[in-house]
Structure 1
Amino acid sequence: MPQAAPLPSLFLSPLGDSAVVLQFGEEINLAIHARILAVTHLLELQPFRGLVDFVPAFTTLTVYYDPWELSQQGTVDAYSEVVRHLEILVEQAAVAAVVPSRVVEIPVVYGGTFGPDLQEVAEYAGLSTGEVIRIHSQGSYQVYMIGFAPGFPYLGGMDARIAAPRKAKPRGSIPAGSVGIAGAQTGVYSISTPGGWQLIGRTPLRLFDPSRQEPSLLQAGDKVRFVPITEAEYLSGKEARAWG
């Protein structure tokens, strides 16, 4: 039985005087993503003195801290102290149990005024619009990170058959909830913003709501499934209430 390739070495480096970057590798893959999630989970469970925030990304985890608090009012070196804490967590994460992924279903009405570029994506792929919808909605997508805009998920796992280039001329405003394709990526616009993705549908869900205790509907580590709904279901708001 072939052995799994060894994971790349971890590198820690300062980012200014109040953050440290943990570099887990150079490639976007599930193994590196799992390591980042494991350390993130332990940071949530075991926050150290002076911890301010942490931001997981494709291959890195950036940890922000209060240098004055962490240095115990200047009695110890803050950077050395944060590195010490993080190295302990990395060791613990290497043997920690895998945290189950949360599966989030996102209802989507495809095509029409809600997905004005569905036909263009289908023509580029040499498929029918129905085939694009079927392929897109049958996929299982990994949330690697949240970024670009508040609550915007970077998803991995889209079928290469429906990949399509960005628009030659970006739109000045894209409605929140729009589901798009750009290259080999798919994603959901969490707020209204300019953008150049090919729009194939829209969800009634609010991916970002600052009034919620957790403003972002999705978090790194979640898995997403897109569920086709009708235009009538979208307009009635029934799906938005059912899914939150």
Structure 2
Amino acid sequence: MKTRYSFGGDEHIFVEMDEEMSLDAFFKSLAMSNAARDAKIDGVREICPANASFQVRYDPETISPDDMMAKLKEFEDKAVNAEKRLNTRIIEVPVYYQDPWTHDCVMRFRERHQDPSGTDLDYAARINGYDSVEAFIEAHHSSPWFVSMVGFVSGLPFLYQLVEREKQIEVPKYLKPRTDTPKQTVGYGGCFSCIYSVRGAGGYQMFGITPMTIFDADQEVSYLKDFMVFFRPGDIVKFNPIGREEYDRILKEVENGTYKPRIAEVTFDLEEFNSDIEGTNHKLMEALNGI
């Protein structure tokens, strides 16, 4: 893994661990960005982590660009040898697949899609080699997902599938972005799933919707009163397929303040995962089932 350092204008330095996403790149990026934050370098204004990279914004009148670059490079050796264990949480996210709202949106924007003759799920199932949409949906929800980044729009999580690379789902974005995407749509682009935190434009394939609010700027939702953004990097997600009746019930509970997301505290060990993916995933999901 060759780390690339580059200046971004007068006030930013971009540090990229790898051109492709991997959990190894994520953990190295996390270790380096945490080290930079803990160092409390004079002049650093913001540190923004991403999937396999991070960016630092600094004041060039307080610290010169070359000195800032040199300090960041000092953290790389520490990051390589950093412990690859993360105390985190696994969260159950209910998903209503093939719901009427994303389906309506899917059909309104077919002319922008690779295959106007079907739905996003039809297309995703076919290009990934599944015999049916139902089999594809099962593959999407049967394994856990790792939140590698939160951003692009407020509160939107990027989710990386915790399976062998050759088993990962891959789906391209729309040929031309939509001007509309329902709030809390579960989408997919490249190797990442996501949950649209707000309604707006988008280019990811649409598979379903969750009744669980994940961003609340007014902090009126019961489980978002401490912080308006629900997800954080390092969270693990288990999608749980639900039907219309369950969707309506959960949505009502969210609205009246009685809904509590199912969450279990877990430790994610990267070396353990790499040596036994199936066993690690089983332990993670058992922690959630044991609540």
* TM-score interval for Structure 1 and Structure 2 normalised by the shorter chain: 0.7 to 0.9
Matched, 1:231 2:244: yes
Q: Answer whether contact 1:158 1:185 (CA < 8 A) is retained.
A: no
Q: Which residue matches 2:233? A: 220
Matches within 5 A, 1:80-91: 80-91=66-77
- Structure with the bigger percentage of helix: 2
The partner residue of 1:64 within 36, 40, 57 is 57
What is the alpha-carbon root mean square deviation over aligned residues? 3.0
Q: Measure how far apart 1:62 and its partner are.
A: 0.9
Q: Answer whether contact 2:102 2:182 (CA < 8 A) is retained.
A: no
Which is further off, 227-236 or 152-161? 152-161
Q: Measure how far apart 1:238 and its partner are.
A: 5.8
The partner residue of 1:147 within 137, 148, 151 is 151
Q: Describe the SS at the equivalent of 2:149.
A: strand
Q: 1:82 to 1:210 in 2, by over 3 A?
A: farther
CA distance in 2, matches of 1:45, 1:230: 45
The partner residue of 1:27 within 20, 26, 49 is 20
Q: Measure how far apart 1:161 and its partner are.
A: 7.8
After TM superposition, the runs of 4+ consecutive aligned structure 1 residues lying more than 4 A away are: 158-170
The partner residue of 1:55 within 35, 43, 48 is 48
CA distance in 2, matches of 1:146, 1:130: 29
Q: Describe the SS at the equivalent of 1:209.
A: coil
Q: Answer whether contact 2:125 2:136 (CA < 8 A) is retained.
A: no
**Deviation digits for residues 209-234 of structure 1, max 9, x if unmatched?**
33455433223333222112232232
Q: Measure how far apart 1:83 and its partner are.
A: 2.6
Which is further off, 190-199 or 155-164? 155-164
Matched, 1:174 2:181: yes
- Counterpart code for 1:25: D
Q: Which runs of 5+ in 2 are unaligned?
A: 104-118, 220-225, 263-291
Matched, 1:18 2:20: no
Q: 1:185 to 1:98 in 2, by over 3 A?
A: closer
**Deviation digits for residues 100-138 of structure 1, max 9, x if unmatched?**
143232221111314524653476355334322211111
Q: Describe the SS at the equivalent of 2:180.
A: strand
CA distance in 2, matches of 1:211, 1:146: 19
Q: Which runs of 5+ in 1 are unaligned?
A: 1-6, 72-77
Q: Answer whether contact 1:23 1:61 (CA < 8 A) is retained.
A: yes
Q: 1:51 to 1:161 in 2, by over 3 A?
A: closer
CA distance in 1, matches of 2:99, 2:120: 8
CA distance in 1, matches of 2:228, 2:74: 30
Matched, 1:193 2:200: yes
Paired residue total: 230
Q: 1:51 to 1:203 in 2, by over 3 A?
A: same
Percent identity over the alignment is: 27
Q: Which residue matches 1:127? A: 131
- Counterpart code for 2:79: A
**Deviation digits for residues 36-57 of structure 1, max 9, x if unmatched?**
0111223343332222111223
CA distance in 1, matches of 2:130, 2:79: 45
Q: 1:64 to 1:229 in 2, by over 3 A?
A: same
**Deviation digits for residues 153-205 of structure 1, max 9, x if unmatched?**
22222875865554556543111100123354322111111223332211122
Which is further off, 13-22 or 98-107? 98-107
- Counterpart code for 1:19: H
Which is further off, 31-40 or 223-232? 223-232
Q: Describe the SS at the equivalent of 1:35.
A: helix
The partner residue of 1:111 within 77, 98, 104 is 98
Q: Describe the SS at the equivalent of 1:102.
A: strand
